[in-house]
Amino acid sequence: MFAFIVSRLLQAIPVLLVVGFISFGMFAFVGDPILFMLGQDFTVEQKEALIRQLGLDQPFLVQYGHYLWAALHGNFGMSYRLARPVSTLLLERLPATAELALSAAAFAMIVGMPLGVYTGIKRDALSSRLILMFSLVGVSLPPFLIGILMILIFAVLLGWLPSFGRGEVVNLGIWTTGFLTWSGIKALVLPAISLGLFPLTLNMRLVRAEMLEVLRSDYIKFAKARGISQRAIYFGHALKNTLVPVITIVGLQIGGLIAFAIVTESVFQWPGMGLLLVQSIGTADIPVMSAYLQLIAVLFVVINLLVDLLYYAVDPRLRIGRGGGH
């Protein structure tokens, strides 16, 4: 088990190195931060001083080495735009994005999985068909449109929920949370739903497809032939067997939700990393962009590891070898 985790982490190193190289490459090849930082009027001396200060005069590989070394220590340089350390900026924004992504993922799972089980069991019922039809709408509407529509209905027309921002947050040291205030929770509802709608339909369709597959299997027929109750068959034997593929997708989803919260954060002016990224792209703030890229890569590695560990918990075929091993 321990060996498994270590080997997984070792396997992740090349991935992280490649991502690090790409994000470093952004410095070397994209845009000209000097021009951006100095504006229109500057002297040659000013320019050269800044180049030295930023280390841009050194050979490429040396710069890459410095870059990695600094990144390992959590130092991603200064934001060109805000002139503050990138790591601080990202850490400030991380809680907002993480809470949004987790709420969206929870919404997608808590609503999506039971709907998947239901439409899988009652595959020919009218209710199932209607749910599937609605889910098709959910998949085909672009997320920003759904966000705007929801703002229009629930914020502008009905006035039930706020249309932007994170509401009041409580500061818990390094983490700020919106979960502890009523206005924070209200502010979370619309963004979380609009971000979670797509993965919800995906979860539902996935669980449904897996459910249909599993319900056809011999072990389900055998369980029926032994008189096992419907409830135990559907929510025990069948659901557990659909979990393995579902865990993979849900794991990837959470990574994806963090990465793609960008659109939702823009629509709802949610003060997370996505919004920071959008503002950084607009101003060619490369240190922020490259650090963001690396943070996402690390998140994916961590999530993949968690997914593998969950497999272990669910599937005895991975946990216990053929020979025994109790």
CA 20 to chain centre: 19
Minimum CB distance to other proteins, residue 216 (Å): 9
Minimum CB distance to other proteins, residue 2 (Å): 22
Minimum CB distance to other proteins, residue 210 (Å): 13
d(CA 135, CA 113): 13
* Contact partners, residue 257, CB within 8 Å, separation at least 6: 100, 101, 104, 105, 195, 196, 199
Q: Which is nearer to other proteins, 60 or 222 (CB)?
A: 222
What region, left, alpha or beta, does residue 284 occupy, with left being phi > 0 and alpha being psi -120 to 50 degrees? left
Minimum CB distance to other proteins, residue 241 (Å): 6
Q: Which is nearer to other proteins, 73 or 322 (CB)?
A: 322
Q: Which is nearer to other proteins, 198 or 234 (CB)?
A: 234
Q: Which is nearer to other proteins, 11 or 229 (CB)?
A: 229
7-11: long-range contacts, CB 8 A cutoff, minimum separation 24:
8/304, 8/305, 8/308, 9/301, 9/305
Minimum CB distance to other proteins, residue 304 (Å): 22
Residues forming the site for other proteins (CB under 8 A): 217-219, 221-230, 232, 237, 240-241, 314-317, 320-324, 326
Q: Which is nearer to other proteins, 30 or 320 (CB)?
A: 320
Torsion from C-alpha of 194, 200, 202, 203, nearest 10 degrees:
160
Q: Which is nearer to other proteins, 84 or 319 (CB)?
A: 319
Minimum CB distance to other proteins, residue 100 (Å): 33
d(CA 281, CA 210): 40
Number of neighbouring beta carbons within 10 Å of residue 326: 3
